[in-house]
Amino acid sequence: MGSDPARDASVAEQEVEQAFKRSVDEGRRRISRRTWPLLATGLLGGIDVGTGVLALLLVEHETGSVLLAGLAFSIGFIALSLARSELFTEDFLVPVTTVIARQARFRMLLRLWAGTLVGNLVAGWIFTSLILLGFPQFADTAIQAGAYYVDLGLGRQAFALAVIGGAVITLLTWMQHNTESSALKLVPAVTTGFLLAGAQLNHAVVNSLLMFSALHTGRAPFGYVEWAQTAGLAAVGNLVGGLVLVTLLRLFQVPHTVRQERDNPALGVAIGDNRRVRQQGRRERS
């Protein structure tokens, strides 16, 4: 039968519950951003990942090693973690838990996804163009790196790599929310960056920036139509991997905590959580 964690705290997954509550609070902050701060955060995320692409192209150009280049790429994820910018697939856990906990509306989640993805891609396109202008010697390396994802095609292998990529990046987010130490948050940033680039997983934003790099050379063996198809498939696989393999299963660890949040849904969440603001105001007046 087992014990009920809601009644017996000794059997509760305390660390997981705390991570879930931190995720809900963080998700409320992210999902309630105004339009310009939301877009700016997405743009900065594209630039931060772009620094990882620069490191990847530099190391792969000099060494010819995909694994060493993947390790260098983790610089981009360190920047994401420390600079507080945002990647599209990072939002497969934190704001999703907020919506599931009924502290925000689903349409607000879609708005966050769309704004962050657009920001990532626009800034990534611009930054990679600067990379190829500043380092024209990286052209052949960029073509090879970008063409890899197009050559995967749109079949089972590409989709499987996309599902794994989504699970890996969402696991990064969960691990970082299990600690408040900035130093410890760097560990999953490095390991995740290495796995995504070193194992050449199919990640919608990372592969887009690498394909943009190839396209900026003017000699890429593919065009923007192939980019859109490849990135679209990757985004769907990332969603499946992040939401199904990580987020939903993590929530099943603390069903009673999820129920507690859902039993007290937020009001007026179109802009932010006004219920809590009104409650605080009533306490202050009393």
The answer, yes or no, to whether residue 35 has pLDDT greater than 50, is yes
Confidence of residue 203 (pLDDT cuts 50, 70, 90): very high
The predicted structure's pLDDT at residue 279 = 47
CATH number for the domain running over 30-276: 1.20.1080.10
Mean predicted confidence (pLDDT) in 200-228: 96
- Compute CA distances 225 → 75, 146, 211, whole Å: 29, 14, 11
**Main-chain phi, psi angles of 202, to 5 degrees:** -95, 95
* Residue whose structure tokens are 């305390």: 14
How far apart are the C-alpha atoms of 144 and 56, rounded to whole Å?
12
pLDDT tens-place string over residues 186-195: 898 899 999 9
Mean pLDDT on 272-278: 45
Residues 6+ away with beta carbon under 8 Å from 80: 45, 48, 49, 86, 87, 90, 189
In tens, the pLDDT along 94-118 reads 788 888 888 888 888 899 999 999 9
In the predicted model, is pLDDT for residue 283 greater than 50? no
B/e letters for 206-241, b = 16+ CB within 10 Å, e = fewer, are bbbbbbbbbbbbeebebeeebbeebbebbbebbbbb
- For the cut 50, the answer to whether the pLDDT of residue 119 exceeds it is yes
Residue 105 and residue 265 in contact, taking contact as beta carbons nearer than 8 Å:
no
Position 120 confidence tier, pLDDT thresholds 50, 70, 90: very high
Structure token digits, residue 253: 């660890």
CA–CA distance, 197 with 18 (Å, rounded to integer): 31
The pLDDT value given to residue 267: 60
Average pLDDT over residues 50-78: 96
pLDDT-based confidence at residue 142 (cuts at 50, 70, 90):
very high
Instruction: Encode pLDDT of 158-168 as tens digits.
Output: 999 999 999 99
d(CA 102, CA 284): 26
Q: What is the mean pLDDT of residues 67-93?
A: 87
DSSP one-letter code for 20: H
Q: Flag whether pLDDT at 230 surpasses 70.
A: yes
Nearest to 122 by CA among 49, 197, 69: 49
Phi-psi region of 102 (alpha: psi -120 to 50; beta: other; left: phi over 0): left
**pLDDT score of 132:** 97
How far apart, in whole angstroms, are the C-alpha atoms of residue 9 and residue 6? 7
